[in-house]
Amino acid sequence: MTIEYRQFTPAEYRRFATAIDRGFGGHYEPGRDQYELDRKSFKPEMSMGAFDGDEVVGTSGAIAFESAVPGGAIIKNAGVTAVTVATTHRRQGVLTNMMKRLLKQERAKGQPVASLWASESIIYGRFGYGMSIQHENFLIDTRKAAIKHMPEVPGKIRFVDPSEARKQVPVAWEAAVNANVGIPRRGSLSWDRMFGDLSAGDGWGKPFIVVYEEGDKALGFALYKLKELHVFGEQMHGLVNADMVIHSNAASHVALWNHLLNIDLYDTLSTWRSPSDDSLPWMLADQRQLERKPYDGVWYRILDIAEALSTRTYLAEGSLVLEVEDSFIPEWGGRFELVGGPDGATCVATTKPADITIPTASLSTIYLGGAKLADLERAGRVEENTDGSIALADAMFSTVRAPWCPLMF
């Protein structure tokens, strides 16, 4: 039977949600507390599915995000999520056909970029995605780790209960959005889901939430859980899992980490989704007490080259002609002249000779400033046609801070 690709209808929501959960190894339970939030947050118009008759054999969707790009502009960003293909329909082109329709659907909505967390990192490069935001996992022995260097901290840390956190945490998150590149804004449904999921499980206790404030404004927060592994009378041993450490300035960053490193009776601290340029290692008395594991975080896919490149600013003044090769959706590629600097940029189609030939995936990789084009050239992922153009591109696309996206979606 021919596979049909389309959005699901409201009447098909349960079958679509069942297919999503099955694709990630779970069983959909419509009776659970989050059911109504699921239906409100995952709407038909954001979806793209594959249907074999009445059977849902492929799912995908895109959350309508807004996030900052270098220079501080807030752009639309299609947060791709819930991508699955039924095991009964693998290697039949379902994912390719579904992804192409989803990307075209989101570009038609005016989204210049798309982003996603890749469950399998080998999948999305062929669709024009590039690994754009790298993160690190941290593991620290807090008995030996101590902060030696720190900036001035004018604010204070305090515990908040879930009801107060529901008011303060979104304020701190928005401060982080405005201070960083890549963090999506979150609406009330997103916060309702997060606070609805705060519960103990897998041997961990209920979470603690601390907020960093300067005056009356929350500028950062940390959410963490504890697990006791020690027995009274024996050597203490316990784990701290800091699921979120969200900061918007140097003071909020060091204040939150100083709190986490000084929790009594728990000697091991783990966290993930830390930015790749986190300054914690430089604050510690002994960097060797911090184990760091880098990994690919968020993948970006440029949907509209002219709009995406003209919206951000550039660290250095320059002009480049880029030949962008889009093997997945060829009509989105072409030759573009980029003229930009710290005060703004323009990017338009041109017939001028190309300085650089670059695939869409590689352009997406450097878009937020999280990678060097010279590194991609040495890897054979970009071609320099005009001497010095790669160096100029790196001077332009570089950013003072690495991009960061602590939100899973």
130-141: strand order across its sheet: 4-6, 49-52, 55-68, 74-85, 113-117, 290-302, 130-141, 268-275, 238-247, 217-228, 208-214, 156-159
Average pLDDT of the segment spanning 329-341: 98
User: CATH number of the domain that 333 lies in?
Assistant: 3.30.1050.10
Residues 6+ apart with CB under 8 A from 124: 116, 118, 299, 301
State the Cα–Cα distance between residues 394 and 409, nearest whole angstrom: 30
Pair 187, 201: CB distance under 8 Å? no
Question: 280 and 317 share a domain?
Answer: no
Task: Tell me the CA distances in angstroms from 169 to 15, 64, 174, 204, 337, one per residue in order.
Answer: 34, 21, 9, 22, 42
Q: For residues 394 and 136, what is the distance between their CA atoms, to the nearest angstrom?
A: 23
Element housing 67 (H / E): strand 55-68
The percentage of the chain sitting over the pLDDT mark of 90, rounded to a whole number, equals 87
Q: What is the DSSP string of 118-161?
A: -SSTTSGGGGT-EEEEEEEEEEEETTT--B-------SEEEE--
Residues 12 and 63 in one domain: yes
pLDDT greater than 90 at residue 65 = yes
Within-domain flag for 163: yes
Q: Would you please indicate which residues are annotated as catalytic (active-site) residues?
A: 124, 409
Task: Domain count for the chain, please give it.
Answer: 3
Least confident interval from 16-25, 56-65, 86-95, 226-235 = 226-235
pLDDT at 204: 81
Do 155 and 48 share a domain, yes or no? no
Residue 140 within a domain: no
Distances (CA, A) of 348 to 135, 138, 366, 384: 33, 42, 19, 20
Domain limit, last residue, from 54, 86, 111: 111
Q: Give the model's pLDDT for residue 237.
A: 76
Residue 367 lies in a domain: yes
Element (H, E) at 293: strand 290-302
The tens digit of pLDDT for each residue in 149-169 reads 999 999 999 999 999 999 999
pTM over the 0.75 mark: yes
The percentage of residues in the chain with a pLDDT greater than 70, rounded to a whole number, is 95
Over residues 280-302, the mean pLDDT reads 95
Q: What is the pLDDT of residue 40?
A: 86
Rounded to whole angstroms, the Cα distance separating 257 from 228 reads: 20
The residue with tokens 């995936």 is 361
Question: Does residue 127 lie within any of the structural domains?
Answer: no
20 and 57 co-located in one domain = yes
Judgement on whether residues 173 and 243 belong to the same structural domain of the protein: yes
The per-residue pLDDT of the chain, averaged, comes to 94
- 40 found inside a domain: yes
Residue 165 in domain: yes
Are residues 355 and 265 part of one domain? no
Return the structure tokens found at 115. 């982003």
Q: Does residue 298 belong to any structural domain of this protein?
A: no
Least confident of 116-120, 263-267, 283-287: 263-267
Res 331: pLDDT: 98
Q: How many CB atoms lie within 10 A of CB 360?
A: 25
**pLDDT score recorded for residue 346:** 98
Q: Which two tokens stand for residue 302?
A: 């440029």
The pLDDT value recorded for residue 150 is 93
Last residue of a domain, one of 285, 318, 353: 285
Domain span including residue 26: 4-111
Domain containing residue 53: CATH number: 3.40.630.30
Distance CA 59, CA 49 (A): 4
Length of the chain, in residues: 409
Q: Are residues 156 and 257 in the same domain?
A: yes
* Weakest mean pLDDT among 38-42, 60-64, 89-93, 101-105: 38-42
pLDDT at 233: 58
Q: Helix, strand, or coil here: 255?
A: helix
Residue 205 has what pLDDT? 80
Please tell me what DSSP assigns to residue 184: B
Residue ending a domain, among 252, 285, 318, is: 285
Question: Model confidence over 10-53: pLDDT tens digits?
Answer: 999 999 999 999 999 998 876 665 667 778 889 999 999 999 99
CB 264 within 8 A of CB 238: no
Whether residue 404 lies inside any domain: the answer is no
For the stretch 177-217, pLDDT in tens is: 999 999 999 999 999 989 987 765 666 888 999 999 999 99
Q: Which residues lie below 8 Å from residue 22, measured CB to CB, with a gap of 6+?
A: 28, 84, 86
Q: Is 126 a residue whose pLDDT tops 90?
A: yes
Residue 265 binned pLDDT confidence (cut-offs 50, 70, 90): confident
